Chain A
């Protein structure tokens, strides 16, 4: 399913058909939060609300912990997850920062200084070569 060369790009997950299947119910749960009454029901009892969706237990735990990187690994897609972090009042920048291992402040500073350089980040082989 994946183009082979894609695996060589570091720190990047391709949302392909396989991940879409794996994350279907996780993403559809996120989608449900586009309605105010669903957001209220979720906030009132998160664990109970999650039971309405036939997700894996791992996916539910990642949601409850707001482990964004783990949700991506389990088939979540960032645009679907945005409904969840918008419900939490968090921004794309906040969530992106948590996935990189930087603090919010460090990440914001990195962006103000022109963002993460592509140098050394194009491929895993390039990283090994320079490391």
Chain B
């Protein structure tokens, strides 16, 4: 059967993609960011997932104000990089896994999570930047990727608690798929940042550190953080952190923190990165 073996959390700052695409990854400003993923690239090459379920938010690219799905699962065979105003990123087309995606959709809907099925969707920096950080620039992404877009643009986004339980439903769905597949769930976005208004530039290292600490150990407590606290403490765009809870919900209660990286600034944002493995089936890999 298919199994979820690990989660990867990381920020998806668009400037990281631009820095990589423009060959600036080893400039003094960006080198610490990319070097912070050196171990992560080795780790993911070693554990070789067959499929990544990549939780991210669309930034007004595939979804405008015409349609705003709370949870949208990409069930297509391919997803093209979106043109976000400066041309599409020069990264490989994302190859999906339509059979597993359809199974997950069916399973979670019968499990009472009424997600939206999407068969045509361009994917923006929210999805492609984490892939760049974890894989560099291959000719093709080394595994199948199922996009799962979460609305965090128009209030209200789903609660952290809902996201956590949704992650658990995704796990049940994956584990009822008969084919032997190694699945990693990515939960992306965050950490503290605010892109608008007089309070733009807000960073809260204490909140972020506590979030990283507690996500591994006490995810049920993290799931209780209300919307207002994310906005107040982590900035208006820090609300993206609810997506980390989907990935966390897909793992066991007991996890091993394989790797952590935190860096300020990446443009306007505190970049956070966390790799967790189920303790029972941990690879044992360490930095």
Residues in chain A within 8 A of chain B (CB atoms)? 3, 5-6, 9-17, 20, 24, 27-28, 30-31, 33-36, 39, 69, 72, 77-80, 82-87, 89, 91-93, 95-97, 99-101, 107, 110-112, 114-118, 121-123
Contact = CB atoms under 8 A, between A and B. Distances in A.
B254 interface: no
A38 to B, nearest CB: 10
B65 A82 contact: no
Contact of A79 (B59, B199, B264): B59
Given A20-B65, A93-B268, A114-B264, A86 B155 contact: no
A83 B83 CA distance: 9
B195 A96 contact: yes
Contact of A82 (B60, B204, B265): B60
Interface string B226-264: 011001110111000000000000000000000000001
Interface stretch (B44-52, B84-92, B101-109, B137-145): B84-92
Nearest to B194: A12
Contact of A34 (B82, B205, B232): B82
B198 A6 contact: no
Interface of B: 14-15, 18, 59-61, 64-66, 82-87, 153-156, 192, 194-207, 227-228, 231-233, 235-237, 264-265, 267-268, 270
Nearest to A87: B85
Contacts of B227: 3
Contact of B59 (A36, A82, A96, A110): A82
B264 A115 contact: yes
A20 to B, nearest CB: 5
Contacts of B232: 9, 122-123
Given A28-B65, A31-B64, A15 B84 contact: no
Contacts of A36: 83, 87
A89 to B, nearest CB: 8
12 contacts: A12-B194, A15-B154, A27-B60, A82-B84, A86-B84, A92-B195, A100-B197, A100-B199, A107-B201, A111-B265, A117-B203, A121-B199
Contact of B267 (A28, A30, A31, A92): A92
Contacts of B200: 11, 96-97, 99-100, 116
Contacts of B14: 82, 92
Secondary structure call for the B interface: loop
Contacts of B202: 115-116, 118, 121
Tell which of A33, A77, A115 has the most Cβ of chain B within 10 Å.
Answer: A115
A122 B229 CA distance: 10
Given A92-B268, A115-B203, A116-B199, A33 B85 contact: yes
B201 A96 contact: yes
B125 to A, nearest CB: 10
A90 to B, nearest CB: 10
A122 B196 CA distance: 15
A3 B155 CA distance: 10
A89 B86 CA distance: 8
| CB-CB nearest 7 A-B residue pairs | A115-B203, A86-B85, A11-B198, A11-B199, A111-B265, A96-B200, A116-B201
B197 A118 contact: no
A85 B167 CA distance: 35
Contacts of A13: 196-197, 236
Contacts of B60: 27, 30-31, 77, 79-80, 82-83
Contact of A12 (B85, B154, B236): B236
Nearest to B237: A78
Contact of A118 (B61, B155, B204): B204
Contact of A91 (B192, B194, B267): B267
